[in-house]
Chain A
Amino acid sequence: MENPFERQQKNILSRIIVNVERLNQSVITLNQELANVNKKNKNIEIIGQICENYHNSTQFNLDATGNRKPPF
């Protein structure tokens, strides 16, 4: 059975393919930029971990030596 809308459907399909290809490229670029951001944030993450460790060790030391005072 001959489809009367064959040409139109092909045109639409090819336009969809072009747009999906552009979308894929954009998403790839987005992923690369997100990876860059995350790589640059790793150092800050380490500093945060250092602060938390220091805080935990000071709390433990205060509790162990009995120097911990109640809040004002």
Chain B
Amino acid sequence: MESTKQRQYAYLAKQLDQLHANLQITKEEMETMSSQCNTHLIGQLGKVNASWFIASNRFLIHEFFQNEKTGEEK
């Protein structure tokens, strides 16, 4: 009777160790994924490309209106 319980507790202890290790791995994977999404995807691709787009749009419109103004003055 007692040996069965001891065996069961030993197996449970082993399983909980495995669970702890797997959850560590999960935590690391989630940290990698979070850094990928936040720094790389949003920060590098998103922010940089959006700033290029908006800045080029603003610059070209500014130039366009300047050319129109100089054209009107002439």
Contacts and interface: CB of A to CB of B under 8 A. Distances in A.
Interface of A: 6, 9-10, 13-14, 16-17, 20-21, 23-24, 27-28, 30-31, 34-35, 37-38, 41, 44-45, 47-49, 51-52, 55, 72
Contacts of B22: 24, 27-28, 31
B71 to A, nearest CB: 19
A37 B29 CA distance: 9
B40 A17 contact: no
Contacts of B4: 10
Contacts, number: 74
B44 A27 contact: no
Nearest to B1: A6
Nearest to A33: B29
A17 B59 CA distance: 66
B5 interface: yes
Given A13-B8, A48-B45, A27 B36 contact: no
A6 B34 CA distance: 47
Contact of A48 (B8, B11, B32, B44): B44
Contacts of A16: 12
